[in-house]
Structure 1
């Protein structure tokens, strides 16, 4: 993997992690999978299932072994396979809001981009860095890039390149790989983004199902947690 020469530190990319032929074969497999019936971005999970209520592991869902087609796509640089893999399909124009994946639950993150390219934006305060996620590239987020910078993809139909070219968005897929953090605590001390640091100063974690429930309660209607849709939020998922 090649480290990026500019901030955020800990960000690296392996271009052409797989061949174009392999990419085409995998995308054909994606078309045969049992995707959820909903518009916009959709996701499937293997290994442990990501919980969109707690932003960690869904302990009520059994572990799902990696299918044979997924094994050759797993990163091998961490010394052990990931604990959780999420496949997401992005129709043209879709994105994810800026967020940092839960510190206490997960360690480093990897993401394999397939299909069309798209820009991912990293932000820390007023500092902005756009990274072009090229087809077949494997991105690694560790250190500062993982813990202290938010990352997201703007929802829009085109991206503007440095030379002024306007690049229309096309369908893309992303495989996100997560490793569980040992001890389920983070020692980074970032009280703005780290759930461990927030808990130590008495800040209550605002789970999305609770946020939605509070909104509905204010309207006089109690909403059940199971009604939460599969979308990203701050401290959520990539």
Structure 2
């Protein structure tokens, strides 16, 4: 994998991780063989393998047993030469045209490395830190790894919209897209990055606890993201402060 020469640093990229023929077979499986949960029309939907992602704590759900990787997923696991072992949590997501995911960081204390394989139509992903913005065009069959700054100090998300405007000014319609996210659990459950805005370990050490609730970040992005709650003053009512989107 090669690092993209952009900000944020730490985005590693591999073009054509699988062939177009392999991708077509996978899309056929996704469309006809898998049982997807019922959700509101137009929203993204997810299936989990290995440990199940917990949308209440943004960690893993301890009450759901480890789900073995199915046969179709086995060839898609990044080589053990990349991280030394297979991932512990894998999430398959379907994005219908117009669907997105709010800007977020994957929980620092629970998850270490983060990879994503894009399938189907391309889409623009936006990385954000304060007023800084950077977009990456997620091409079909590309494998992306987030490490360093891109993983820990910038949020990432996909805007909820029907089209993407490309760098040359052209407008591209969105179509059906799938992604496979691979997560490795962090040994020891502690992150040492020290980012008080985005790191749950740093927040906890500073006396900040997190609540999880629905919050609107942008007019076109609504999602479940953590809100740190300052609990240093136990005699006063805690005040929720929105995490950096």
TM-score range, shorter chain: 0.7 to 0.9
Q: Does 1:125 align with 2:126?
A: no
Q: Does 1:64 align with 2:56?
A: no
Question: Quick check: which one's strand share is greater?
Answer: 2
**Pairing 1:1-238 to 2, within 5 Å after superposition:** 1-31=1-31, 32-39=33-40, 40-76=43-79, 77-208=82-213, 232-234=224-226
CA distance, structure 2, for counterparts of residue 232 and residue 28 of structure 1:
30
CA distance, structure 1, for counterparts of residue 106 and residue 173 of structure 2:
28
TM-score (norm 1): 0.88
Shift of residue 207, structure 1, vs aligned partner: 2.3
Task: Specify which structure has the bigger relative contact order, considering alpha-carbon pairs within 8 angstroms and separated by 6 or more residues.
Answer: 1
TM-score (norm 2): 0.85
SS of 2:25's partner is helix
Cα deviation code 1:53-108 (max 9, x no counterpart) = 11001000010000111011011111110000000000000000100110000001
Contact kept, 8 Å, 1:98 with 1:234, in 2: the verdict is no
CA distance, structure 2, for counterparts of residue 8 and residue 25 of structure 1:
34
Aligned length: 216
**1:205–1:234 CA distance, 2 compared to 1 (3 A):** closer
Shift of residue 140, structure 1, vs aligned partner: 0.3
Structure 1 alignment gaps of length 5 or more: 213-230
CA distance, structure 2, for counterparts of residue 162 and residue 111 of structure 1:
22
CA distance, structure 2, for counterparts of residue 45 and residue 79 of structure 1:
22
CA RMSD of aligned residues (A): 1.5
Structure 2 alignment gaps of length 5 or more: 216-222, 228-245
Cα deviation code 1:102-142 (max 9, x no counterpart) = 00000010000000000000011121110000000001001
SS of 1:206's partner is strand
Contact kept, 8 Å, 1:114 with 1:174, in 2: the verdict is yes
CA distance, structure 2, for counterparts of residue 163 and residue 102 of structure 1:
35
Cα deviation code 1:168-223 (max 9, x no counterpart) = 00010000000000001101111100000000111111123xx69xxxxxxxxxxx
